[in-house]
A and B are shown apart, each in its own frame.
Chain A
Amino acid sequence: DTAVSQTPKYLVTQMGNDKSIKCEQNLGHDTMYWYKQDSKKFLKIMFSYNNKELIINETVPNRFSPKSPDKAHLNLHINSLELGDSAVYFCASSQMMSPGNTIYFGEGSWLTVV
């Protein structure tokens, strides 16, 4: 039973389109994240939600809008997609107060903008 699952795994779309990536965790964690991994494998945090409240919002264009309907779900909506948005997007979750904050990652969503 997958702990952190995200869909779709692969997404190819044209510039200017709007797309969403969905994420669900069944670990009972309070905190969820979106990370972006670029072509150089550099993994960088985008957003973090704790109990449905936004606690981290890095310098991400406002075309990216996270939505957390409940603490087990964190979706990512992207408007007006650009070529530079092509990357792998990882959803993750953790128990916020756990030592070292063990983060569990999903398998990633490969987004290609053409």
Chain B
Amino acid sequence: QKEVEQDPGPLSVPEGAIVSLNCTYSNSAFQYFMWYRQYSRKGPELLMYTYSSGNKEDGRFTAQVDKSSKYISLFIRDSQPSDSATYLCAMSLMDSSYKLIFGSGTRLLVRP
């Protein structure tokens, strides 16, 4: 079993839809949780990070962490075609926050 699991998709939605992307993980010691967006032929770029449990909102993006269920989510409101990309979750331990463990990514396609 991989430490971080993510549905590869593709997930296809119409423009304007609310998108929900999810990851599950097995190591309850993870403390930092991140979402990266990766466009085709580009490097991943950080979208959001949260520490421990709770929600964090930034514009159209909301990240949620449920440590009791070992489950994290990224919600995208009013999705746009420019949101079409692969979304990677990543997480790390408190004492080795420099070592990120990534999920394999979910490919999202937003149709105009």
- Chain A residues in contact with chain B, CB under 8 A? 4, 31, 40-45, 48, 50, 55-56, 90, 92, 94, 96, 99-108
Contact = CB atoms under 8 A, between A and B. Distances in A.
A102 B49 contact: yes
Interface of B: 8, 32, 34, 41-46, 49-51, 86, 88, 92, 97-100, 102, 104-105
A45 B99 contact: yes
Contacts of A108: 41-43
A59 to B, nearest CB: 13
Given A41-B86, A43-B88, A103 B46 contact: yes
Contacts of A103: 46, 100
Name the 10 nearest CB pairs between A and B, nearest first: A105-B43, A100-B49, A43-B102, A101-B97, A41-B105, A42-B104, A100-B32, A107-B43, A105-B44, A101-B98
Given A40-B104, A44-B102, A55-B98, A100 B42 contact: no
A4 B42 CA distance: 12
Most chain A CB within a 10 A radius of its CB, from B8, B32, B43? B43
B73 to A, nearest CB: 17
A42 B102 contact: yes
Given A48-B98, A103-B100, 11 more contacts: A40-B8, A40-B104, A41-B105, A42-B105, A55-B98, A56-B98, A96-B98, A100-B34, A101-B92, A101-B100, A108-B42
A90 B36 CA distance: 14
Contacts of A4: 43
A94 B98 contact: yes
A45 B91 CA distance: 12
A48 B98 CA distance: 9
Nearest to B34: A100
12 contacts: A31-B98, A41-B8, A41-B86, A43-B88, A43-B102, A44-B102, A96-B98, A100-B32, A100-B50, A100-B92, A103-B46, A103-B100
